[in-house]
Structure 1
């Protein structure tokens, strides 16, 4: 692959955006390769956790506008571009049953930051800079930003961040945009132990709870709990609990 590094070790698939010469800007080749390796990781029995990060000292500087020929930029169809890139990639990430972690190891702006919002957890290095810079180039946030950000931060804070002013990792942690400052490796070892399908059921129910009625949520909880209750992980946990309580 030209733009992605893919490594699996001890149940962890690390996917690295690898265009360091442009701070890992997202071009169409990267989109295709990222979709391909993500599909591999999410369906591999040997993968328990997926980590998304960037090469060298950047996560991603966003969409690679320089990859669009200057003579065609005026007539560039942003809608078609989104439909063949982010509108396929973001649902793939969102529908992943395994825990997903974005490690923001430097700058993450525009669609680069948007990409992290689809992951379950976000970590950032202490020197990371985060910004939704869409308005600065006369565009509105895309790549799922308007879906995830109000749910993560609340509407008012999401609109404020949408103005495009960069924030530090410390501020991102304070407002709840990231889970923690620093490398995620200690957390990865913990999250590898979460039982399946209970984890995927939990995340699906939480997402459904944001939009469904109370009765819809209760019905969906019953469905997912049935599946989790039939799992080997549940049986093992119950047996371990009973042995400990004797």
Structure 2
């Protein structure tokens, strides 16, 4: 799928940052099956592009997304009369692809982020929000169910008690509450939100090692929920033992001692350690 094939998102790359934007502002970026699949394709494209170090997920218009597009009086599902056993609901198509990314993802959220409009961002590394942002896991108020694997992600971000409150009540809440609970990392004036996201992206692209970032984000996601630290330490030990032959580790130390920007060379596409439990050889 190329740039000309995207109808409901936009995609561009500049300064080692890919910007993926929801692009249905006339519908307040209502979420559709096509949007879900375009997002999954765009994240896949960014992950495999050696010229991209960071992804910023944002939206055109004044709302991030009001959730599932209900403009036709129902849900835009492609499951037909009876979904196939391997049918995947649309929000999870995006959140799962972000989960598997080797590159950090920064979600910049302005205005309404409701239902699927917030669940698709829960696997991002950062969520930055405007002071006018509003959030809601409103599924129970529509007689439906949480999606996007949000029942897995949300408690890990804000704790079970807060996740229960937001999901069982389905109430809409503001940016201050989201920030205090840890759902979003920082708040910004609406006109400064994207600038803040790009400033963070620039710092990550300039000062972090791509393979180190890829390994670290997957260590956190895939191993932090284990019931013992011992399997994690086994992986840690293999990683640290490999440092002596790691040119990025040498460069990291040299650039620090020489007080210059680092020039990391390893690429997650080809240089991930093959002993990692989630790496398919």
Task: Using structure 2 for the length normalisation, give the TM-score.
Answer: 0.78
- Residue 233 of structure 1 pairs with residue 248 of structure 2: yes
Q: Deviations 1:154-183 (Å, cap 9, x if unpaired)?
A: 101111111221111111111111011122
Q: Deviations 1:81-137 (Å, cap 9, x if unpaired)?
A: 961533433221101011101110111000110011011100001111111111110
- Residue 109 of structure 1 pairs with residue 114 of structure 2: yes
Which of these residues, 38, 43, 47, is aligned with residue 38 of structure 1?
Answer: 43
Which of these residues, 211, 215, 228, is aligned with residue 213 of structure 1?
Answer: 228
Aligned to 1:169: 175
- The structure-2 alpha-carbon separation of the partners of 1:161 and 1:118, relative to structure 1 and needing over 3 Å to count, comes to same
Q: Which moved more, 1:163-172 or 1:10-19?
A: 163-172
The answer (yes or no) to whether the contact 1:205–1:221 under 8 Å persists in 2 is no
The answer (yes or no) to whether the contact 2:127–2:184 under 8 Å persists in 1 is yes
Which of these residues, 88, 92, 99, is aligned with residue 97 of structure 2?
Answer: 92
- The structure-2 alpha-carbon separation of the partners of 1:23 and 1:82, relative to structure 1 and needing over 3 Å to count, comes to farther
Structure-2 separation of matches of 1:79 and 1:159: 30
Which of these residues, 199, 202, 224, is aligned with residue 189 of structure 1?
Answer: 202
Decide which structure has greater helix share.
Answer: 1
State the 1:78 CA deviation: 7.6
RMSD: 2.5
Aligned-partner SS, 1:66: coil
Aligned-partner SS, 2:11: strand
Q: Give aligned pairs, total.
A: 242
Aligned-partner SS, 1:191: helix
Aligned to 1:179: 185
Task: Using structure 1 for the length normalisation, give the TM-score.
Answer: 0.89
Q: Which runs of 5+ in 1 are unaligned?
A: none
The answer (yes or no) to whether the contact 2:113–2:136 under 8 Å persists in 1 is yes
Structure-2 separation of matches of 1:12 and 1:242: 28
The answer (yes or no) to whether the contact 2:10–2:23 under 8 Å persists in 1 is yes
Q: Which moved more, 1:76-85 or 1:124-133?
A: 76-85
- The structure-2 alpha-carbon separation of the partners of 1:227 and 1:30, relative to structure 1 and needing over 3 Å to count, comes to farther
